[in-house]
Structure formats: structure tokens, C-alpha cells
Amino acid sequence: MSIENPLWGAPRIHGELLKLGFEVAQSSVAKYMVKRRKPPSQGWRTFLHNHAPDIAAMDLFVVPTIGFDLLYAYIIVRVDRRELVWISVTAHPTAEWIARQITEAFPWNEAPRYLIRDRDRIYGSVVTRRLRAMGIRDKPIAPASPWQNGFAERLIGSIRRECVDHVIVLGEAHLRRILKSYSAYYNNITTHRSLDKDAPVSRPVQRIGSIKSHATLGGLHHHYARA
């Protein structure tokens, strides 16, 4: 006979054995227990897999302008469909500004259950209070673990490779227009391997009509569709 439960410790197993009529010391139970190789609670990857529909992630990245000024772009992405739900630009990011972006990104009845972020000091008490008020659980990543915010990090990499690395940014308003156009292209056109080659906003399969090419982002990318 064996009692196996990865969440039980020696005291719990010892109690069960006593109730089954086995007179044994708790120290003996602890001695012969199988040593765990993994923590009893779910790991970060398991958490992401189990709760993906209820998770969003946010992050900031820097974009230089033609005048060598630095602008800050802020993104929020839904984990399950990789949808870019919010993107905005500012020259002076503050906790108050980020809190306002979160409020504008999610209607009160559509907020995610969890919001992943890094440990940047800009996410101060103003941001955490706003999250609590909206019923969102704050999920900061572990120190020095950017991979835990991998969905936002990969999206930022895509924005750089597919957009801002090929554009000379003139100013804040210009960058905002560029990123809004990229957001529409990314959500509605770009296919993802993790989504079975579908777009974040699902694209229907077109089988009838001639194929036309539509330029986006000034011809940097093209969208092919049947007319």
C-alpha cells in the first residue's frame, strides 16, 4: 500500500496512517517519503498555460526620434490570442499615466483577471491601487526573469523588427500614428504559429476571387486578400 499525494507533507500522511490503524512515528514517514523534484505549487509556465484566457501582460520600450529625443511606447497584450489590446506613446511616463492607460484599455466588465508586469519602479502604488480597484490581480515577475513576461517581450521584438527599426520617427504624434497602424496590421493580418497560422483577430479563409495586394505602413508590409 502507498499513499501518494504531491501536496501532502509528512504530518498529513502520518495522520492518514494513524486513522488506518498503522502505528508509526512521523519521523519515519518523513524519512521514507519520496523527495520532490518540483515545487508543490504550479510553476510560472503552468500558471500561464492554465490561466491564459484570463491573463494580459504589459511593458514599456524606448524609441528614439530624428532629434535624438526618447519616446516611450506602452503596450498591453492578451496572452491567449496574442492580441495587442492597447498601445500608446508618451515622452514622460509616470505611474499616473500608466494607471490611466490601464483604465482606458479595459472596459470595467472586460478586464483580465491577472496582469503580468516587470518590476520597474514606474509601476508604483498608483498602478497597483488601480489594478485592485478594477479587480485585476497584479502579477510582477520574479527579479531578473524577463522570460516570465515573454509574451510582451516577443511582441516588442516584433514591433521593432517589423516596424520602428525601419522608420525615422519625427515626433510623438508621428510615432503614435505609426504604432496604431501597426497594431491594426498585427491584430487583423499577421498570422501566428501558436494560433494555428491564424491572426489574433481570427481571419476567415478566402477561396473565391482574385488575389489583391494591399500596402500597409507605407508599403513596409502587404496584406493579400481575395476581391
Distances (CA, A) of 205 to 190, 208, 209, 211, 226: 14, 10, 12, 13, 10
45-195: CATH class: alpha beta
Q: What pLDDT sits at residue 2?
A: 57
**Arithmetic mean of pLDDT, 120-128:** 94
As a whole number of angstroms, the distance between CA 8 and CA 3 comes to: 10
Strand extents, DSSP E, 91-220: 114-117, 137-140, 211-216
| 3-class DSSP assignment, residue 174 | helix
| Chain position carrying cell 492578451 | 78
- Tens of pLDDT along 104-122? 999 877 899 999 999 999 9
**Arithmetic mean of pLDDT, 46-65:** 92
Residues of the chain with CATH 3.30.420.10: 45-195
Q: What pLDDT sits at residue 57?
A: 97
Whole-structure pTM over 0.75, yes or no?
A: yes
Element (DSSP H or E) covering residue 8 = none
